[in-house]
Amino acid sequence: MEPPDRRPRAERARQIADVLRQRITAGAFDSGPLPDERTLVAQVGATRNAVREALALLRAEGLVERRQGVGTLVVQPKYGHGLDRLAGLAEALDGHGEIVNEVRAARILAPPPAIAERLALAPGEPVVHLERLRRLGGRPLSLDTTYLTADIGVPLLGHDLAGRDLFALIEETSGRRLGRAEVVVHAVSAGPDTAALLEIPPGTAVFALDRLTHLDDGRPVDVESLHVRADRLTLRATLHRGSA
């Protein structure tokens, strides 16, 4: 017989919430409500009070909601975006709905020195600056700020920036293949302007992705800063262990 679990209930609830969150983001409950409390108690091996606290944590995150006579439902699906392949958002979310880009800026300018340095440009050398609010299913998903070297970016200005991924357009217009990208992911609090555009309360946690993309010859051509609604997207990768 196993000894009783003497951990604080708040700790058990947190760990149960982690398990349920993983199942939700994996799509386990897309077709209907979560199992009832009695079933969840049996599945996770916890008390009903701990399960109730775990569900309360998920409700506070905005991940689930309780509906009278129905049960606990996933509020909205989270879409998975893999980090182990260089792909545009529309490519990564193919089959989940139409991605529409609201182009808020598309211009040629002299970049900030830090951007010029990352793109290996001389000071004052022009770049193409794009800002796009990206929607999935009509709802905001991310706010993307992009700086492109002029030879790559200028040809894009005459193309469908509202309906196409930049990566595909870059390869089409340049005749070159993209090679690799370095990506850094932060968790940040959305400021008032970003929050208003993404239609979330100010201070809400969002993913901030910094990405530097290179052509297949190694030349850096694309610096991006993406603010992504963390309640709508999960970041996934398949990692292989190799030599240190």
Average pLDDT, the chain: 85
In this model, does residue 4 exceed pLDDT 90? no
C-alpha torsion sign, points 173, 174, 176, 177 = negative
- Compute the half-sphere exposure of residue 142: CA atoms within 13 Å on the CB side of its CA: 23
112 has pLDDT over 50: yes
| pLDDT for position 47 | 86
65-89 confidence digits (pLDDT tens): 888 878 888 876 666 665 666 666 6
More confident residue, 112 or 137: 112
Q: For residue 1, what pLDDT is reported?
A: 44
pLDDT of residue 109: 94
Token representation of residue 115: 């951007």
> pLDDT tens for residues 166-195?
999 999 999 999 999 998 989 899 999 999
The mean pLDDT value for 50-56 works out to 90
Q: How far apart are the two ends of the chain, measured CA to CA in Å?
A: 42
- CA dist list (Å): 60 to 53, 54, 104, 201: 10, 10, 32, 14
| Count of C-beta atoms within a 10 Å radius of residue 19 | 14
- Which residues are 189's β-sheet partners? 205
Q: What are the structural domains, with CATH classification, of the chain?
A: 9-74 (1.10.10.10), 79-236 (3.40.1410.10)
